[in-house]
Amino acid sequence: MIPGGRRRRSAAAPVVLRALLAGALLGGALLIPAGAAIAQPAHPAARGASDDLVRAKEYWLDGYGIRTAWNTTRGKGVTIAIIDTGIDSSVAELRGAVVGGADFSGRGSADGQTPVGDGNEHGTMVASLAAGRGSGTNAGVIGAAPEASLLSISVGFGDAAGDSDQQIADAVTWAVDRGAKVINMSLTRNTLGWPPSWDTAFLDAAQHDVVVVAAAGNRGSGTEEVGAPATMPGVLAIGGVNSAGVASSQASAQGITIGVSAPSENLVGVVPGGKYVLWDGTSGATPIVAGIVALVRAAHPELDAANVIQRVLATAHDRGVAGPDDLYGYGTVDAAAAVSGTVASVSANPLGDLAEWVRVNRRATTTPTPVTTESEVAAPAPSAAAQPRDPVGVLLPSAVELSLVGLPLMVVLLMLFALGGLVVGAVVHFRSLRRTG
């Protein structure tokens, strides 16, 4: 799996995702994050300043209705699982936000809060955009759902395909079992398909009413088309737009499974150690939408996952194309409308039914039943009624028939034969007399 995104390096920030981006360009089934930082200092001001330039850079708070939605809810009571490189919960913006975690990479700490891998900043940046608390009044990075809780689940990006596939399946199952109502997956397998192990895990999420939000991936990281898990039925796939609301040419991929789009360029985030960076990628767009989903769930706890997704889709702003398209999905997300708008209910997930997909596409292969050859088949003995008659015997009376007909018939037959002989003899004698006469 790969993190689809780009990062420009600077002396002020650590190197990020070099090996992961190489894996992305190679394609295949490596798991990669779907966005990478542009490693520039996000602002020159000191942390905690009352008029923090970092907060001012979060243009999506007002442009996408998030700040307005906070008048109704800030996401309290909803848990978002971040399946990524792990979250550094010690940074100011994330203190108190992380309520649990686990490591499936075999490299981190048991609580999932030790960032792992070459691009270990990724999970912390993602978490800050989903549920960052800020670092003070109007200071620091604040997420779309700043009162939601987080689960930090670390996995190994760039691992061998089979290993990373199982890590993801296990991570999803773990998140569901621990009460997550939203799962953020800022990653891509970089393939349209996915392994059967994901069927089981994602079906479990669907059956437990969990909304899975996944990144579409980025052209700049080698992902031209949306890859799994964003191709899976029922998953809310997120495309990316620039600050003007136009589909990003580099920080987004294209595909018919995109649900909605959100900002994926010039995003400000927090990295381990508390530094701020700007970054591009649908890895950032995805937690913004995951946070909005948490706001909807907090405002409408009675809604199931299908109707939560329906609210996000139905209230998105169309980009000039009737219905969903392969660049924006249903349009750009609107948090205020999703939380407070009037939306008709649905009876099924508008993004598809994974169970039905599995039924059609994962048909069980039956074991062939051995068939004996003709020489091995013992024919059953036919009944007396079914016994065939002798083809010659059918012309002659059988003993049974003789016993039923009796001697009278035989006498008649003999008399007929004798009479015939007399007639023939008379005709011959008569003709001979005529010749001699």
- Where a domain ends, among 341, 361, 381? 361
Catalytic positions, written as ranges = 84, 122, 283
Is the link from the previous residue into 272 a cis peptide, with omega within 30 of 0? no
Give the separation between CA 349 and CA 144, rounded to whole angstroms: 23
Best CA proximity match to 316, nearest among 370, 260, 366, 396: 260
| Residue whose C-alpha is closest to residue 292's, from 345, 246, 332, 250 | 332
Q: Are residues 144 and 45 in the same domain?
A: yes
* CATH code, domain with 279: 3.40.50.200
Q: What would the pLDDT profile of 245-262 be if each residue is shown by its tens digit?
A: 998 878 888 889 999 999
221 and 286 belong to one structural domain = yes
pTM of the model: 0.77
Collapsed DSSP state (helix, strand, coil) of residue 281: strand
Digit-coded pLDDT (tens) for 168-219 = 999 999 999 999 999 999 999 989 999 999 999 999 999 999 999 999 988 7
Examine residue 376 and state whether it is found in any structural domain, yes or no: no
248 and 311 inside one domain: yes
Same domain, 430 and 316: no
Residues comprising the chain, all counted? 437
Burial of 83 (0-12, 13-18, 19+ CB in 10 A): buried
pLDDT band at 407 (very low <50, low <70, confident <90, very high): low
pLDDT of residue 362: 92
Tell me if 268 is assigned to some domain.
yes
Q: Is 201 contained in some domain? A: yes
Which of these ranges, 78-92, 293-307, 320-334, 364-378, has the smallest mean pLDDT?
364-378
Considering the domain architecture, whether residues 228 and 135 belong to the same structural domain is answered as yes
Q: 3-class SS at 354?
A: helix
Residue 221 or residue 199, greater confidence: 199
Q: Average pLDDT over the chain, rounded to whole?
A: 81
**Residue keyed to tokens 């437990």:** 208
> Across residues 387-406, what is the average pLDDT?
49
Flag whether pLDDT at 52 surpasses 90: no
- In whole angstroms, what is the distance from residue 269 CA to residue 186 CA? 14
The strand pair at 182-185 and 187-188 is best described as: unpaired
- Please determine, for residue 323, whether its predicted confidence score (pLDDT) is greater than 80: no
Structure tokens at 90: 């010690």
Domain that holds residue 311: 18-361
Which pLDDT does position 254 carry in this prediction? 84
In angstroms, the CA 339 to CA 289 distance is 12
Burial degree of 50 (CB within 10 A; 0-12, 13-18, 19+):
exposed
- Is 2 among the domain residues? no
Q: What is the DSSP string of 158-183?
A: T--HHHHHHHHHHHHHHHHHTT-SEE
- The SS3 call for residue 376 is helix
According to DSSP, residue 380 is labeled: P
pLDDT score, position 250: 82
Measure the CA–CA gap between 40 and 134, rounded to whole angstroms. Answer: 19
Distance from C-alpha of 4 to C-alpha of 23, rounded to nearest angstrom: 10
Which DSSP string do the residues of 37-81 spell out, in sequence order? EEEEES-SSPTT-TT-HHHHT-THHHHTTHHHHTTT---TT-EEE
Q: Is the pLDDT of residue 417 over 60?
A: yes
Q: For residue 106, is it within any domain?
A: yes
Percent of the chain scored above 70 by pLDDT? Answer: 73
Q: Do 127 and 251 fall within a single domain?
A: yes
Contact 289, 238 (CB under 8 A): yes
Tokens of 233: 């039925």
**Among the three residues 340, 361, 382, which one is the final residue of a domain in this structure?**
361
Domain membership flag for residue 389: no
> Are residues 34 and 165 located together in one domain of the fold?
yes
What ranges make up the beta strands (E) of 65-155?
79-84, 98-103, 149-154
Domains held by the chain: number: 2
- Residue-level pLDDT at 125: 97
Domain end residue (candidates: 361, 390, 418) = 361
94 with 201, same domain? Answer: yes
Whether 208 and 65 share a structural domain: yes
Does residue 4 lie within any of the structural domains?
Answer: no
Same domain membership, residue 357 and residue 409: no
Judge if 411 and 318 occupy the same domain: no
Q: Out of 90-94, 130-134, 173-177, 407-411, which region has the weakest mean confidence (pLDDT)?
A: 407-411
Phi then psi dihedrals of residue 419, to 5 deg: -60, -40
Yes or no: say if 58 and 98 are a contact pair by the CB < 8 Å rule: no
Contacts of residue 109, Cβ cutoff 8 Å, sequence gap at least 6: 103
Predicted confidence (pLDDT) at residue 108 exceeds the cutoff of 60? yes
Residue 417's SS3 state is helix
Q: Report phi then psi at 131, rounded to 5.
A: -145, 30
Residue 368 lies in a domain: no
Give the pLDDT confidence score for residue 212 in this predicted structure: 98
Question: Are 33 and 2 spatial neighbours (Cβ–Cβ below 8 Å)?
Answer: yes
Q: Quick one: pLDDT band at residue 409, thresholds 50, 70, 90?
A: low
In single-letter form, the type of residue at position 222 comes to G
- How far apart, in whole angstroms, are the C-alpha atoms of residue 329 and residue 324? 5
Q: Is 191 left (phi over 0), alpha (psi -120 to 50) or beta?
A: beta
Tokens 């249903």 belong to 330
Closest CA to 54 of 120, 131, 126, 132: 132
